[in-house]
Structure 1
Amino acid sequence: MLTVHPESFHLAASLVKPAEQRGFAAFADLVWTKARLNLKSEANRSYLSYLWWVIEPLMYMVVFYFVFGVLMQRGEANFIAYLLTGLIPFQWFGKTVAQASNSIVAGRGLLNKVRISPLFFPLVGVAQNLSKQFFIFLVLFLFLYFYGLPPSIHWLALIPLILLQLLLIASVSCLIAMVIPFVRDLANLVPTGVQFIMFSSGIFFSVERIPEQWQSIFFANPIANILQQYRTIFLGASWPDLGLIGVLLVEIAFLMLLVLCFLRNFEGKFARVVLE
């Protein structure tokens, strides 16, 4: 017998309403409802269900510890902690952007049947990965505790820092997702672009290796900036650099402005373009 989840009726009812009758709160609820349904569907496809959200980051950490801490014998003080405090936040960015990048094209069937903002599709991916990242951060916190880096008062700064990273991820994901329907070849460049950012953001090397005169350019990369702030909190037991946070705020505001401008000028064209 075919079973229809009750939340599916709520989702369908929300989708068929005209856009002008849906406020921001209703739209956010719609995104979260769809994200939850996707997460439940994903969990039901495996025997261990939601446990994979914890097992996956644990395996990830073990692999990098074995490769860099054992095989490559990187013996620098706190190197494994330095590596993981950069890699775990970056993976949140990389996975979300990769998942959301082609979401509008993939959702063309729904986009041509109901009146819905194209931002719905990438934001569902953002919400899904945010839910998973909660458990991944929890695993990272436990690792740091047993590694000898217990929580301090400076960990309170993680709340605004995680919020800033979420805004950055949402802005980049939405912007790329909206451009790809018009420039389909860009989808092939996203994985390469994510890899380039990973290797150029200081995940595998210390910022101190960069000449001082080039560090301002290095930190113009918002991902490098964010990862440095995580490490300042976790490894340095200090408050984030307010100057670099200010730069990050300006960059995020600029990206959000680009998203809104693109949406305002092209929102009515997506339903046609995704079918071409």
Structure 2
Amino acid sequence: MLLISSLRALYTLKSETKRTYLSFVWWIVAPAIDIAVLYFVFSILLGGFSKTTNFAAVLSIGIVIFSWFSNSVNNASNAIVGQKHIAINTPIKLISLVLSVSLSDLFKQLIVVFVGLLLLKLLTTFSINYFYLLCIIFVQFFFIFSFSLITALIIPLIPDFKLVLSVIVQVMMFSSGVFFSINNIPEQFKSLIILNPLANIIELSRFVIIDNYESPLAISSSISALVITTGILFIVAILFHQLVSDKVRKVL
């Protein structure tokens, strides 16, 4: 299944690059535009809005990570409905349809991360931090895939869940520290923000990438909590797939 999903993901990327003039360059340009606009708003128009050290790097990491989550969830959540002719006419597992879309967005993200690190000149010398960053990306992929699989299975059964999903993604954006460091929020709210797995992923990525970044998280505890949460979500997603996949095929 993994091989088939990977090949379908690569084929999707190849087709996508042929449909636009900018090709794969747009995968890098799109988040760069978001970063530039938001930096202009928060740091220049609202002069002094952010007291965060290395605000450009903090903002960039938050946007890149959340954009991956948002785009991948939106794409993968429609993988089953959007490919219902395949789901109906072939014995392919529904999980494979979602996995291929998630892998496609993962490949895009790896390119964005590589280019971003190159621009930050972090690839000039080897660092153990690159290994930690790959581990974070690996965990985030499973978190996104598990979340997307659950939503992709719910949408054919309850079409209106698309509206709920858009609200969930928006809440995740404002509660993940995308535009700010968790250091800058009142102490009594930090524990609430940290309950969000995406906030942990963003903070851990900042800790790994930005030199001397002071994170309010207990790093080892945060990593353990993130891995456990993602593992539980993955198991729930697999069990949910086994439980409702036949019913989903019937309603397509």
Q: TM-score, normalised by structure 2?
A: 0.88
CA contact (8 A) 1:145 1:151 kept: no
Query: How high is the sequence identity, in percent, across the aligned residues?
Result: 32
Match of 1:208 in 2: 183
Match of 1:94 in 2: 70
Aligned CA distance change for structure 1 residues 44 and 57 (closer, same or farther; 3 Å)? same
Match of 1:272 in 2: 250
Q: What SS is found at the alignment partner of 2:94?
A: coil
Distance 1:244 1:200 in 2: 16
Match of 1:230 in 2: 205
Match of 1:82 in 2: 58
Unaligned residue ranges in structure 1 (runs of 5+): 1-26
CA contact (8 A) 2:157 2:251 kept: yes
Q: 2:111 aligns with which of 135, 154, 158?
A: 135
1:106 aligns with 2:66: no
Query: Displacement, 1:160?
Result: 0.9
1:174 aligns with 2:152: no
1:54 aligns with 2:32: no
Distance 1:136 1:122 in 2: 21
Q: What SS is found at the alignment partner of 1:145?
A: coil
Q: 2:138 aligns with which of 163, 172, 179?
A: 163
Please say which of residues 233-242 and 214-223 is displaced more in the overlay.
Answer: 233-242
Deviations 1:66-104 (A, max 9, x none): 333332334633111111111111111111001111221
Match of 1:39 in 2: 13
Aligned residue identity for 2:96: F
Runs of 4+ more than 6 Å apart: none
Deviations 1:165-196 (A, max 9, x none): 11101110111111111111101222222111
Q: What SS is found at the alignment partner of 1:180?
A: helix
Query: Displacement, 1:39?
Result: 1.1
Distance 1:69 1:139 in 2: 24
CA contact (8 A) 1:152 1:237 kept: no
Aligned residue identity for 2:131: L
Distance 1:139 1:61 in 2: 14
CA contact (8 A) 1:68 1:80 kept: no
Query: Displacement, 1:236?
Result: 4.3
Aligned CA distance change for structure 1 residues 54 and 201 (closer, same or farther; 3 Å)? closer
Distance 1:54 1:231 in 2: 19
1:186 aligns with 2:138: no
Aligned residue identity for 1:94: S
Deviations 1:149-178 (A, max 9, x none): x87443331011111111101110111111
Larger radius of gyration: 1
Aligned CA distance change for structure 1 residues 28 and 153 (closer, same or farther; 3 Å)? closer
Deviations 1:199-228 (A, max 9, x none): 111112331233434433321110011111
Unaligned residue ranges in structure 2 (runs of 5+): none
